[in-house]
Structure 1
Amino acid sequence: MSPSKLHSYLQSALDAVFRQFPQFSVFANLTITIADADYIPDVCVYPKFAINFFEPDEIRMTELPQMVVEIVSPTQTIQEVLDKFPIYFQAGIQSCWLVVPQTKTVSVYIAPTQAQVVSMTGEVVDPVLNIRVPLDQIFA
């Protein structure tokens, strides 16, 4: 999958949004390993932890994030993205955001079949992370 211009823009915007919250450590395109398979969510949000640049770097994270964001690209279907969510939840990830650029929509999943959808205007509420984000901060 080649990220598009909108995909890349939204990934950067979401990174900036989550960095406003001091309780989180935020990573873009981080490889996480679940059941011997690698996944690369667009954004991963962990509870805050210190980064030590003198320790060996990690190529694949086995410690899973609290939340992931997947942004739909023109080269993939929404269903392809949604198919990852049950895997994420079963592994212990507690919240998944689905971002659809063309409709300016964010769906916050707290279970594979339980989502709150915010489109065009309003506020994205994530009860797991206990945060609220105005949609216009993401699609500005």
Structure 2
Amino acid sequence: MDLLLENWAEREMTAYEIERGKPMPSFNHSYIQNNLIIEINISFRKKFTTMPELTLEMPEKPNCVPDISIFPKMIANFLHDKITFAEMPITVIEIVSPTQSIDEILLKFERYFFAGVQSCWLVQPSLKAINVYSQIGKYRYFNDEMILIDPTTGIELNLSEIFQ
């Protein structure tokens, strides 16, 4: 695990990444992030809470900010807000940004699984595809002509709606 953190810390980061602790998003990134949140909430809002850009307290620093985190249904406490969140989500979704490599995201997935996350989605906008990981090296591939099925959560999404 120490080597993983060293590799993460050693890579060259942009000023935006340093300030926010995550890669710079793009139009396609934001578009897909919005579509995913909408589609998940349409069918699964009563079962899950989807949170964009929530800072997760990782067992080892640095903390992570997934594009989308999926939790069992939660209720907000508006009197007691949190800047970081210690409870790990069931699923995290990472969308590849133009300044980011898939290898970087897979390193984050290792950290997420180590922290207790049960599934990770790797969204590749240029391929109109999503890989759903149940562990590192074990994933199912879905493209925009398929129905994504995450066996961990039971979430099913028509990817043509995500990549429309």
TM-score range, shorter chain: over 0.9
**2:37 paired residue number:** 15
- Misfit runs of 4+, over 6 Å: none
- Structure (1/2) with the larger helix percentage: 2
- Superposition deviation, residue 36 in structure 1: 4.0
Q: Which residue of 1 aligns with 2:116?
A: 92
Please give the TM-score of this superposition, normalised by the length of structure 2: 0.82
Cα displacement (A) at 1:52: 2.1
Instruction: Provide, for residues 57-98 of structure 1, a one-character-per-residue CA deviation record: whole Å limited to 9, x for no partner.
Output: 100100110100000000011111111111111111001000
Backbone CA RMSD of aligned residues: 0.9
Which residue of the other structure, out of 55, 74, 80, is the alignment partner of 1:49?
74
Q: Give the secondary-structure state (helix, strand or coil) at the position aligned to 2:57.
A: strand
Number of equivalences = 139
Q: Deviations over 1:29-54 (max 9, x none)?
A: 00001114210000000000111212
What's the % identity of the aligned pairs?
A: 39
Does 2:26 align with 1:4? yes
Q: How does 1:95-134 map to 2 (within 5 A)?
A: 95-134=119-158
Greater Rg over alpha carbons, structure: 2
Letter in 2 for 1:69: I
Q: Which runs of 5+ in 1 are unaligned?
A: none
Q: State the TM-score, normalizing by the size of structure 1.
A: 0.95
Correspondence 1:77 to 2:96: no
Cross-structure match for 2:82: 58
Give the counterpart letter for 2:70 in structure 1: V
Superposed, 1:25-40 pairs within 5 Å as 25-37=49-61, 38-40=63-65
More strand by share: 1
Distance 2:129 2:95 in 1: 10
